[in-house]
Chain A
Amino acid sequence: MKKMINGVDNIVDEMLNGMTAAFPSAIGRVPGTDVIVRTGAKKTDKVVLISGGGSGHEPAHGGYVGRGMLDAAVAGAVFTSPTPDQVYEAIQATECGKGALLIIKNYTGDVMNFEMAADMASDEDITVDRVIVADDVAVEDSTYTTGRRGIAGTVFVHKIAGACAETGADLPEVKRVAEKVIANVRSMGMAVSPCTVPAVGVPGFDLAEDEVEIGIGIHGEPGTHREKISPVRETVDHLVGKILDEGIYAEGDEVAVMVNGMGATPLSELFLASLRVNEILTGKKIRIAKTLVGNYMTSLDMAGFSVTLLKLDEELKGYLNAPADTPAYKEL
């Protein structure tokens, strides 16, 4: 393993300190915790949005803390859900009487830890509700699995629910909007090379030199299949095809697109991918309201990308275009 670290035990701690030191006017760390909050987080008079998850997905989620998006982000160990006490710290640190919405990616551990924190908050009469993001179409959603994984589409939930909360909407309203995003967002990813969890020291899976994994999860979980690497336009055709198969997006619809890098993908390649997404959607007369290209929900040093489509209506489009000022996402 070759990584630019000072020691495997301190990565999350130093990463959080680095993030807050880089953006002192935007975010800060709740002392003694792995919770990032807005700087000078005065008790705002709005519904609080809290997300989080294992580390290794930077800039998710700390990078999305700020005006128009999250109020707090909780970081777990690399690829490991944060613990209930840490999530509860985030709830306590931001509590303002209007309630909190927890935005959880659909993984067994994340759901359990956040739910236990929600139980702790309820015991203290803090109103907490939750939404679970499950946008990855690579995984069958059936009673025989844990359900679809939450991946890059989560960033759209942060953005749109965050803008809604900023208007002063109440908790049921913010939750409704978040669930509307979840119902209309779908993603699928792929990897050309695996990632290495620092504490493990070896890649999470093996891929041959000419092989790619289609449908990869953001922790290197296996996808739908492996195949020989093909031109990126063909890979994009496959990913977007699977997303369109969901039957959510039709001619005349308007969508937001995200082409998300997994951490070690050159931006040039992401633009090649986003060009193909653009061509496919244009061909299908699906209008593109906004395209995001970059590293939004990474997977350590994995090379590869995911494509996310979000179907918009006037309400979602309005919130998507509303101002946001966070370290990793700005809408001015």
Chain B
Amino acid sequence: MASTLFDCISKIAETIIANKDYLTELDRAIGDADHGINMARGYTEVLQQLPQEEQDIGAVLKKTGMVLLSKVGGASGPLYGTAYMKAAKAAAGKTSLTTQDGCEILQAVIAGIQLRGKAQRGEKTMLDAIIPACEAYCAAVKAGQDFSGCLDAMCAAAREGTDYTASIRATKGRASYLGDRSIGHVDPGAASSLLTMEAVRDFYREQMQ
């Protein structure tokens, strides 16, 4: 399982790196034009440092978080670093995960991001993608759907949440300086969160085939 997780995180890394220019362009509109560059720098290092033989899922996630924290910088470094480290804590010692574990991991991730970023839903941040994604995922788990169904529900909600960020005014982060001028633009952090979740879904789709 952990080696599968290694491949999964590699998939996330490749996805983010492939979307470097897209994320930077989103940030250029309402931020400081470095989100894709910073995230790509972090995940390039993740690809180099991730321990392939490690069996403990928590350890793999923790390492990912530590690398992002030390390489990304800006606001994304602490936020994604914290997200992975909270996920690591929720998965500590495990070598496989149930669908219910996934729900608890997502909840831990959200709690960590909120604590670090002091943001709430509706402020045009990554939380607007992740919170509805988590709710949809957990509801799908409760409804007895399989992992694939849960991930589909998660990504659909994340996409809707990311699109929603374009319709609202930023009150957190650098985009908040723009006031109403931030409306009409997708939040780059929500976009990279969506890409992350879609990478996980796509990875498991490929695994299933």
Contact = CB atoms under 8 A, between A and B. Distances in A.
Nearest to A112: B78
B37 A200 contact: yes
A59 interface: no
B32 interface: yes
B9 interface: no
A108 B75 CA distance: 6
Interface in B102-132: 116-117
A207 to B, nearest CB: 15
B171 interface: yes
A167 interface: no
A105 to B, nearest CB: 12
Contact of A108 (B28, B173, B179): B173
Contact of A76 (B33, B73, B173): B73
A84 B116 contact: no
Interface string B73-84: 111111100000
A83 B70 contact: yes
A146 B77 contact: no
Nearest to B169: A144
Interface in A102-144: 107-109, 112-113, 116, 139-140, 143-144
Interface residues of A, number: 34
Contacts of A107: 75, 174
Nearest to A79: B32
A112 B72 CA distance: 13
A149 interface: yes
Contact of A84 (B32, B69, B79, B172): B69
Contacts of A220: 32
Nearest to B74: A109
A112 B73 CA distance: 10
Contacts of B177: 139, 145-146, 149, 217, 221-222
Contact of B73 (A77, A139, A199, A200): A77
A220 B75 CA distance: 17
Contacts of A86: 70
Nearest to B178: A222
B117 A82 contact: no
A85 B77 contact: no
Contacts of B89: none
B176 to A, nearest CB: 4
A167 to B, nearest CB: 34
A204 B78 contact: no
Contacts of A139: 177
A222 B75 CA distance: 19
A145 B181 CA distance: 13
A124 B33 CA distance: 35
Contact of B24 (A144, A145, A200, A221): A200
B96 to A, nearest CB: 31
B86 interface: no
A85 B38 contact: no
- Of all A-B residue pairs in the complex, the 8 with the closest CB atoms, nearest first, are A109-B75, A109-B74, A112-B78, A145-B176, A80-B73, A108-B75, A219-B32, A85-B70
Interface of B: 24, 28, 32-34, 37-38, 41, 69-79, 116-117, 169, 171-174, 176-179, 181
25 contacts: A54-B74, A76-B73, A77-B41, A79-B32, A81-B73, A84-B78, A107-B174, A108-B173, A108-B174, A109-B73, A109-B75, A112-B79, A112-B117, A113-B74, A116-B69, A143-B171, A145-B171, A145-B179, A146-B176, A149-B177, A204-B32, A204-B33, A217-B177, A219-B32, A222-B181
